[in-house]
Amino acid sequence: MFFVRLLSQRQEAQSFLYFNDEVTTRSTSTPQKLLRTPLPYDDESLAGYILRLSETNYYQSPHWILQLAGYRGNRVLRFNRHDNKPTKLNQLTGTDNKLLKSKAFGATTEGNITSYGVYKKATQLCPDCLKESPYARLFWDSKISRVCPIHQCNLISRCPQCQQLIKWSRPGVVECECGFDFRHARTTLATDAQINFSFYLYGSLGRVEYMNAIKAIYTEDNPVFSLTFSCFSRLSSFLGGYIRAYWRHQKCIELSKTVFTEFGMQSELLSSEELVFDFFQEWQHNITQLLQWHENNLKQRYSQSTTISSMVDFLVKFSNYFPVHCSISILLENYLINCLSRYLIDQTEIIWTNPAKVHTRSFELKEVKRWLPEITKTWNDLELNLARLITASQYVNYLYPSSLYPIKVMVLRNPEPQILRLKLNLCLKM
């Protein structure tokens, strides 16, 4: 009887639904509530919850739940993030719609519509967690989550028996399509670098106890904790490649044996986020060494003008990830000034225009910390250092005494609408 009713509902559903029912099917009837509707766990993912509902109600695949909720042939749930009207999935499960949306971890948003690719979720897991309680954890759905901080082991993404990638559409939370029970899978211990990053990741996603634990290891004033997690991810994309290259050439740099054996040999095994986060544990030493290596590498390969522009570009981009008065910004600022001085850049001329008048100031580079406050007053007390000033400039020129025209090496957009034009000339000594 129940199977016949299920087929009827499948035939009525002619197209997929948006999560907020903005697109409707030919069937306007309210779906009957499932026989068994356990509430989702606090840290359970939406994909994992649908999978568990399917298993609890004896369906062979979680696709049956989606079809009952009106999602025919579509594995991407879309919902209006500002609309909390009842939905068919909400009515089918008896679970509050707002609670269901909160479980859609890793969803992407465009305008008011949030899309959740359910088929991409619950595809990696910790066998030890499943032994304790068989449900898919919310944090496993993060693309950069690779380690369980509770058991300090690597998550698995392939079935040990059939060697196939774990799929969301499977018979049950702990069961592969080949019949293997994931709770019987062997785990491998993660490295210290991976474990530390997993603490930071879970802490950034709301688990305060993990953030407190990692701050105790790194010290709370570590500059990495001044960043939001999204900003840290962007920093990792920018810095990860430099750090990998640095460690590949580490034999040319004097490093302690501990750093080399415990970190250097593992660098190729780590994700960019894990690599950068571990790099920041001893950030003052590591970053100073990285900057020196990068500058030396540029000098060996390129001309002086290219070396100057490349180093300035690198230092400015690096510095702009952090607040102006952060300890690492100060380190990078000092290196930037010293770098420019090493290449005989001495005089700095700044020209900017606001709606009232044109301003021109000339300073010696070594006096940068004295003249920056004067400029910030003109710009509504905008926090500035030399890196921010270069970023705010429409263009930066390096002036050579023998040249009739300045050589333009960098062009940057002006982010401040009240500043119509800002020009920074870094002039070589005679």
pLDDT digits (tens, 9 = 90+) for 335-389: 998 888 887 776 676 766 655 667 677 777 777 777 777 766 666 656 778 888 7
CA distances from 134 to 167, 182, 203 (A): 16, 10, 23
Q: Are residues 9 and 108 in the same domain?
A: yes
Asked whether residue 389 is domain-assigned, the answer is yes
Q: How far apart are CA 133 and CA 124, in angstroms?
A: 15
| Res. 317 pLDDT band, cuts 50 70 90 | very high
Kindly state whether residue 407 falls inside one of the protein's structural domains: yes
Q: Which of 301, 318, 352 is the last residue of a domain?
A: 301
Same domain, 226 and 293: yes
Same domain, 351 and 295: no
Residue 168 counted as domain residue: no
Q: Which of 189, 194, 186, 51 is nearest to 127 (CA)?
A: 186
Residue 61 in any domain: the answer is yes
Q: 227: helix, coil or strand?
A: coil
Q: How many domains does the chain have?
A: 3
Residue type, 406: P
Q: 318 in a domain, yes or no?
A: no
> In terms of domains, do 204 and 262 share one?
yes
Domain boundary among 266, 301, 336: 301
pLDDT in tens, 379-415: 665 677 888 877 766 555 544 443 333 333 333 334 4
Task: Please state, in angstroms and rounded to a whole number, the distance separating the CA atoms of residues 429 and 402.
Answer: 11
**349 backbone dihedrals φ, ψ, rounded to 5°:** -120, 130
Residue 380 lies in a domain: yes
8 A C-beta contact, residue 71 and residue 17 = yes
Q: Residues 65, 14: one domain?
A: yes
Note whether residue 88 is domain-resident.
yes
What digits encode the pLDDT tens for the residues 232-284?
Answer: 999 999 999 999 888 877 654 444 444 444 444 455 578 899 999 999 999 99
Amino acid 400: pLDDT: 43
Cα–Cα distance, 36 to 237 (Å, whole number): 44
75 inside domain: yes
**Residues for the chain: how many in total?**
430
Q: 253: domain range? A: 193-301
The angle that helices 283-301 and 304-319 make with each other, rounded to 10 degrees, is 150
Place of tokens 């430099």: 242
Assess whether 355 and 274 both reside in one domain. Answer: no
Mean pLDDT for 294-314 is 88
Return the ∠ at Cα 354 (arms to 349 and 356), rounded to 5°: 120
Residues 9 and 68 occupy one common structural domain? yes
Q: At what angle do helices 208-218 and 192-204 cross, to 10 degrees?
A: 130
Domain boundary among 73, 90, 120: 120
CA 102 vs. chain centroid, Å, equals 19
